[in-house]
């Protein structure tokens, strides 16, 4: 199991609790008349987080532990065209004047335990899980063969039941499944089915789904921190541009290879914990195209920065590098990042062990390097004292030159 998979397995229950709190806040706001504030509104977020989104495009990354999408010349994994730019792939090669495919949304039970929990509502008749997957795959392929564009999402038992309670829907009814499948609250462009076998596609769909959940939760926290005043849009652009500069600086400092970024932060008031992880691939001096996991990472960092949060960011180096796996870190305090010392990095790793994560084998804790300062705090000329000018990282984006 890769470090990214281990991080996600640990963080998933935390994300579930936070998301349940978001749902509860929405429900309380709805019962109270839908007043202002986070609890009384549903905030559909765009699929692109703006300047802080993934560099180079939006196809989601490969399965945990595999090479980043589009990297090293290997075949793209199942679902590599889903979401992001892949969600619009039907536009390419379509005869001029032909109507676009009719889109439909479908929510799938992806795990045996989820299937069993949902079966209590009578959703699947007497089907067993394998038979359900076999029949579902046949139906999806038949629809796709008729020119239908199919958008997939994960059917989570607890969230589905919470959703039905919020809207007053019967979980056993077809209307509830249709509404949940097309729920606009889940951020990001849809995951488009391209004819893959479900046994190969489901792990990719799960990874993509949890990235979308993280974007949704962190995006709500980000928008709440930005506020709804007249200066909100400009502030949002400023924060996301800063996070993009930080991401490029991390890529420049990481060097060649396949690395892993993890971030964990808490809000200053409610202590809400946000987590995300994303692979960072550098090949021949170029930043390999990222995916939805990079969007989730950037939006999570942005929420911590805008909300004055506290936490930490770790850069796990390529485990195949000679001399061991270098791990560098940055502390987030009052919404600002500063390099950790090697001792602080070691402490952060041991804290992760206390939370249930294994200590990375062969890890070599090293101090973090200078990152761009927030624009308002940069020295004259836009350069952070002792750091790098925002946006001046020397790593080239895939398909382009060095960022300006």
Nearest CA-CA partner of 187 in 268, 108, 283, 300: 300
Cα–Cα distance measured from residue 12 to residue 339, given in angstroms and rounded to the nearest whole number: 27
Helix (H, G, I), strand (E, B) or coil at 29: helix
Identify the residue with better confidence: 293 or 86: 293
89 vs 271, residue with greater confidence: 271
Q: What is the pLDDT of residue 377?
A: 59
Determine whether 399 is exposed, middle or buried from the number of CB atoms within 10 Å of its CB (0-12, 13-18, 19+): exposed
Show the tokens assigned to 146. Answer: 């008729």
Query: In percent, how much of the chain has pLDDT > 90?
Result: 54
CA–CA distances in Å: residue 62 to residues 1, 71, 229, 284 = 14, 10, 39, 20
- Extended strands (E) in 167-252: 191-192
Q: Considering only 93-97, 170-174, 203-207, which range has the smallest mean pLDDT? A: 93-97
Per-residue pLDDT at 72: 29
Q: Could you please report the per-residue DSSP string of 188-201?
A: SS-EE--S--HHHH
The answer on pLDDT for 81 being more than 80 is no
Give the start-to-end residue ranges of the domains of the chain: 83-87+99-193, 232-397
Please answer whether residues 283 and 72 qualify as being in contact, where contact means their C-beta atoms are separated by less than 8 angstroms. yes
Structure-block tokens of residue 208:
């993509």
- pLDDT band of residue 154 (cuts 50, 70, 90) is very high
**Per-residue burial over 199-210, b = 16 or more CB atoms within 10 Å of its CB, e = otherwise:** eebbbbbbbbbb
Quick check: 175 pLDDT over 70?
Answer: yes
Question: What's the chain's average pLDDT?
Answer: 76
For 234-249, what is the mean pLDDT? 95
Query: DSSP string covering 368-403, please?
Result: PPP-PPPGGGSBTTTB-TTS--TT--SPEETTS---
> What's the pLDDT score for residue 290?
82
pLDDT at 91 over 70: no
pLDDT at 222: 94
Confidence of residue 187 (pLDDT cuts 50, 70, 90): confident
Lowest mean pLDDT among 72-76, 208-212, 280-284, 350-354: 72-76
- With a cut of 50, say whether residue 402 has pLDDT above it: no
**Residue 109 and residue 115 in contact, taking contact as beta carbons nearer than 8 Å:** yes
CA-nearest of 364, 382, 362 to 374 is: 382
Strand, coil or helix: 236:
helix
| Mean of pLDDT values over 112-122 | 95
Angle at 234 between CA 228 and CA 240, to 5 degrees: 100
- The pLDDT assigned to 396 comes to 52
Q: What is the pLDDT of residue 335?
A: 92
Asked if 88 and 81 count as a contact pair (C-beta separation under 8 A), the reply is no
Flag whether pLDDT at 1 surpasses 80.
no
Q: How confident is the model at residue 267 (pLDDT cuts 50, 70, 90)?
A: confident
DSSP 63-118: STTSPPTT-TTPPPPTTTTSSGGGGGGGGTTPPTTPPPPPEEEEEE--SHHHHHHH
Q: List Cα–Cα distances, 122 to 4, 113, 133, 325, in angstroms.
A: 35, 15, 16, 49
């Amino acid at each position: 199991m890769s470090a990214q998979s281990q991080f996600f397995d640990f963080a998933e229950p935390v994300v579930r609790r936070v998301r349940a709190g978001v749902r509860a806040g929405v429900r309380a706001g709805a019962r109270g008349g839908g007043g202002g504030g986070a609890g009384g509104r549903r905030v559909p977020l765009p699929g692109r987080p703006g300047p802080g989104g993934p560099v180079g495009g939006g196809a989601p990354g490969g399965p945990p532990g595999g090479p980043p999408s589009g990297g090293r010349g290997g075949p793209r994994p199942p679902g590599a065209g889903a979401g992001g730019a892949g969600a619009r792939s039907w536009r390419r090669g379509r005869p001029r004047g032909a109507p676009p495919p009719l889109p439909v949304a479908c929510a799938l039970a992806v795990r045996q335990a989820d299937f069993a929990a949902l079966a209590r509502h009578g959703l699947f008749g007497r089907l067993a899980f394998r038979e359900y997957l076999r029949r579902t795959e046949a139906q999806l392929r038949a629809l796709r063969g008729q020119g239908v564009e199919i958008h997939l999402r994960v059917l989570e038992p607890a969230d589905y039941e919470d959703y039905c309670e919020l809207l007053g829907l019967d979980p056993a009814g077809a209307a509830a499944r249709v509404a949940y499948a097309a729920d606009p609250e889940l951020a990001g462009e849809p995951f488009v089915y391209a004819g893959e076998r479900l046994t190969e596609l489901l792990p990719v769909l799960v990874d993509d789904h949890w990235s979308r959940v993280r974007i949704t939760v962190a995006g709500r926290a980000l928008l709440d921190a930005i506020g709804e005043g007249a200066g909100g849009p400009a502030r949002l652009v400023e924060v996301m541009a800063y996070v993009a500069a930080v991401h490029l600086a991390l890529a420049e400092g990481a060097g060649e290879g396949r690395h892993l970024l993890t971030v964990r932060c808490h809000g200053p008031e409610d202590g809400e914990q946000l987590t995300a992880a994303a692979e960072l691939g550098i090949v021949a001096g170029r930043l390999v195209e990222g995916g939805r996991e990079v969007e989730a990472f950037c939006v999570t960092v942005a929420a911590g920065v805008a909300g004055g949060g506290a936490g930490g960011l770790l850069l796990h180096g390529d485990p195949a590098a000679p001399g061991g796996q270098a791990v560098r870190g940055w502390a987030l305090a009052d919404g600002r990042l500063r390099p950790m010392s090697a001792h602080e990095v070691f402490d952060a790793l041991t804290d992760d062990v206390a939370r249930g994560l294994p200590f990375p084998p062969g890890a070599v804790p090293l101090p973090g390097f200078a990152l761009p300062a927030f624009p308002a705090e940069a020295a004259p000329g836009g350069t952070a004292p002792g750091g790098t000018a925002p946006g001046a990282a020397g790593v080239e984006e895939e398909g382009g030159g060095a960022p300006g």
